Amino acid sequence: MIKVGGIFAAVGIAAMLASLVSPALADPDNNQLIIEGELIVTDVAAPDSSPLDHIYSGWRFRSPETQSLQMDDFENPGFVAVDAAAETWETADGSEGKSCASCHEDVSSLAGLRAELPKWDEATNKPATMENLINRCRTDRMGAEAWGWEQKEMVNMTALISLQSRGMPVNIQTDGPMAEWMEKGKDLYYTRVGQLNMSCSNCHEDNYGNQIRSDHLSQGQINGFPVYRLKWAGLGSIHRRFKGCMENIRATPFKRGSDEFIALEAYVASRGAGLAVETPSVRN
């Protein structure tokens, strides 16, 4: 059950939404995302199960200045974190004296992983995120302490590993044991919460392409996470963004790494099936 921070009268909610959301000022542009000579897919036909006709990467809703930062790895501010993680990858840590490279050798061996996460994990009987997998390696194989969800080393490492899948289409399992989690995530996506009585779908399905306050609403796709947000002046995880959205509508957010946010991550990832992994992306 989602915790609610309070309710407004229906009339008050309608008035507030009318004041926050303006008519469409900019639909997704037709620019192409090309990085290091590779065309990154930023729009695809929506799958049959989608409520949308077409799906677009958040990159297509950004200003030309922000878009250009992501088109050049040298200019992309997220690569400072990637470079730091590359050093961590080779550094031994924990009681076993192992580094990430001790088992996985080159990080490129993990190409494709980001595109299929979260995925079912038999060991825990629930979906695993990138953060879950990293911490399992640290505690079970390296004898090292687990990293915090938003700890710098964790976010940096998720960016480095995710980069290996850049250009690959998002393709996560939605059936079998994942089906129940997809339904849970879908329920969370469409449930109105908080003082503003809003759901994820109110912004990212009903109003994408519109302005809300000073922000240009996208479809809320997560194929670029972890993302470098200019607002944050650094990288942040998917769950950090979920938490921020819930706080914006004055709802009590779930914890990063909670079952609720993992289910929501899985469902939102499935909504972007076919879009290419963009990590590290750059957003406002």
Which residue, among 275, 180, 165, has the nearest Cα to 219 in the 3D structure? 275
Residue 271 burial by Cβ neighbours in a 10 Å radius (0-12, 13-18, 19+): buried
Cβ count within 10 A of residue 240: 21
Q: Which of 137, 200, 203, 245 is catalytic?
A: 245
- Element housing 38 (H / E): strand 38-40
Question: Does residue 245 have an active-site annotation?
Answer: yes
For residue 65, the tally of other CB atoms under 10 A from its CB is 10
Can the peptide bond before residue 253 be classed as cis, meaning omega within 30 degrees of 0? no
Positive or negative, the CA dihedral 123, 124, 129, 135 is: negative
Q: Give the integer Cα–Cα distance in Å for 112 and 104.
A: 14
In sequence order, the 6+-apart residues with CB closer than 8 A to the CB of 100 are: 88, 89, 90, 107, 137, 157
The SS3 call for residue 115 is: helix
Catalytic center residues: 245
